[in-house]
Amino acid sequence: MRKLHQKNTVRYFLIVIALLFFLFLSGDFGLVDVQKTAIVMAVGIDREEDAFIVTSQIAVPKASDSGKSSETVQIVSRGKTVADAFEEINAKTGWYPKLVFCRLILLGEKTAQNNVFDALDFFLLDEYISDNCLLATCDGQAKDLLNVKALVDASGSVAIQKILSSHAQRVGTVLPTTLREFSIGYYSESKSAFMPVLKTQPQQDPVDDTSPNPPNGAAPSAATQAQTSAQENGGKNAENKDEEKPIFSAGETALFYAGKRVATLTEEETFAFNAVKNKLRLAAYSVETNEGAYTLSLKRNSPKTVCTLGKNGRVSYQIHVKISAGLLDSANAFSKTEGIDGGDTPPSAYQAAEKLLAAQISSTFEKSRVSGCDLFGLLETLQKRENKRFESVKTTALENAALTVRVQFQNIR
């Protein structure tokens, strides 16, 4: 009996090995057939009446002498749903869109005016796309922004991802979000979320480079005319050779309530919110004083928020931000005994910074209150700590909340 059992065990073991070997040989190991697959790097979604216009930025393999192995192309498709629009890519090109490498979803202005989850639900249901995909919106059409060849990279999506990096958030200039984070906010009790607003801007403002007129109305010399002509021709050739390319910015932040864009934070308000809710490291902050302009280096911040519900049903929200900072630069020259490590930072610079940042935090909270977007998470805190009374106050908690802001700058020494 024991021998029979041992024989059966060996047979089962061999069968399992055979099955595993078969699965090993039949697997594709995650390889992508580039001849049949459209590797989607970024998606732009616009709305036009009852249709979705989907712009897919696709990586296309291409050999070249410069060493670049791929380039990107934009394919625009249309459908009653986002899934329908993606299926049109296959009908147009013969490629099947693969979203596993998609790292950016850009929503156009009209898409953000409606419930954005009319479009985003497809990506939540798609098991192949990562929920860490970046989200952003823009003023105008998303397809126009993805078509931009920026200065830092020929691919618009790659250039956008660079400015939405975690480093940009640590210095307070950008407030990035992912599909997962935005969805959590949308499906929470507050129905509130945010995403950065992407814009393009020129590298620099136009410079007046006109030459002065000759004195006493005299005509310019032949040498001057020749030099001017050469400069003009050289400038035209340089302009034709290297076209002026814009850069992206994402300092403004769009606030969403129930999936619709309801307000926009300025760049200063975006920085203020980062100071309250995120960790800042080596962020620059400029202030004006009677002695001149100063730029402080914010080494680290220690924010603390307290949300309480009074007996009268009114919410009290207290914000205390403590920041260690030093002097990074000044509009006036430093004296011999002054350093730029914060050792001789004028008290007026800290006082001006405290006053300015407190005002910007208050402005951010007020914009959140008026729009109905619970940006600071009051409802989430009340739901956890005041669960018994939460239902009776949740509709008026944000509107009637009493705000107290205290900002304290201290020398890094």
pLDDT tens for each residue of 273-302: 999 999 999 999 999 999 889 999 999 999
**Any domain includes 32:** no
* Residue from 273, 282, 371 nearest 319 by CA: 273
Do residues 285 and 185 both lie within one domain? Answer: no
pLDDT band at 7 (very low <50, low <70, confident <90, very high): low
**Any domain includes 109:** yes
Residues 188, 128: contact at Cβ < 8 Å? no
Average pLDDT over every residue of 149-160:
74
Q: Are strands 37-48 and 96-98 parallel, antiparallel or unpaired?
A: parallel
Do residues 162 and 305 both lie within one domain? Answer: no
- Domain of residue 135, residue span: 37-201
DSSP calls for 78-108: EESSHHHHHHHHHHHHSPEEE-TT--EEEE-
Do residues 182 and 41 both lie within one domain? Answer: yes
Tell me which of 150-159, 163-172, 299-308 is least confident: 150-159
**Any domain includes 24:** no
Do residues 54 and 189 both lie within one domain? Answer: yes
Number of domains in the chain: 2
Do residues 182 and 293 both lie within one domain? Answer: no
**Any domain includes 50:** yes
Q: Which two tokens stand for residue 408?
A: 């304290």
Look at residue 60 and give its three-state secondary structure.
strand
Residue 250 CB neighbours (<10 A) = 23
- According to DSSP, the residues that pair with 231 across neighbouring strands are none
Residues 40, 97: contact at Cβ < 8 Å? yes
pLDDT of 351 reads 95
pLDDT tens for each residue of 316-370: 999 999 999 998 888 887 665 555 444 568 899 999 999 999 999 999 999 999 9
Average pLDDT over every residue of 61-82:
73
pLDDT of 192 reads 96
Give the CATH number, domain containing residue 377. Answer: 3.30.300.210
* The domain boundary residue, chosen from 184, 201, 218: 201
Do residues 159 and 69 both lie within one domain? Answer: yes
**Any domain includes 181:** yes
Residues 89, 75: contact at Cβ < 8 Å? yes
**Any domain includes 252:** no
**Any domain includes 214:** no
Do residues 179 and 276 both lie within one domain? Answer: no
Residues 150, 248: contact at Cβ < 8 Å? yes
Tell me which of 63-67, 100-104, 292-296 is least confident: 63-67
Residue 214 CB neighbours (<10 A) = 11
Q: Are strands 96-98 and 70-79 parallel, antiparallel or unpaired?
A: unpaired
* The domain boundary residue, chosen from 201, 216, 236: 201
pLDDT of 25 reads 64
pLDDT of 63 reads 52
Look at residue 315 and give its three-state secondary structure.
strand
Average pLDDT over every residue of 176-180:
95
Do residues 195 and 306 both lie within one domain? Answer: no
Q: Is the pLDDT of residue 114 over 50?
A: yes
pLDDT of 240 reads 45
Do residues 398 and 280 both lie within one domain? Answer: yes
Q: pTM for the full model?
A: 0.80
Report for 211-220, 231-240, 337-346, 393-402: range of highest mean pLDDT: 393-402
**Any domain includes 368:** yes
pLDDT of 301 reads 95
pLDDT tens for each residue of 204-227: 655 555 545 554 444 454 444 545
Do residues 302 and 176 both lie within one domain? Answer: no
Q: Tell me the C-alpha distance between 402 and 319, whole Å.
A: 11
- The 3-class SS string of 134-147 reads EEEEECCCHHHHHC
Do residues 82 and 191 both lie within one domain? Answer: yes
* The domain boundary residue, chosen from 148, 181, 201: 201
Do residues 197 and 272 both lie within one domain? Answer: no
What value does the mean pLDDT of the chain take?
83
pLDDT of 309 reads 92
pLDDT of 218 reads 46
pLDDT of 345 reads 81
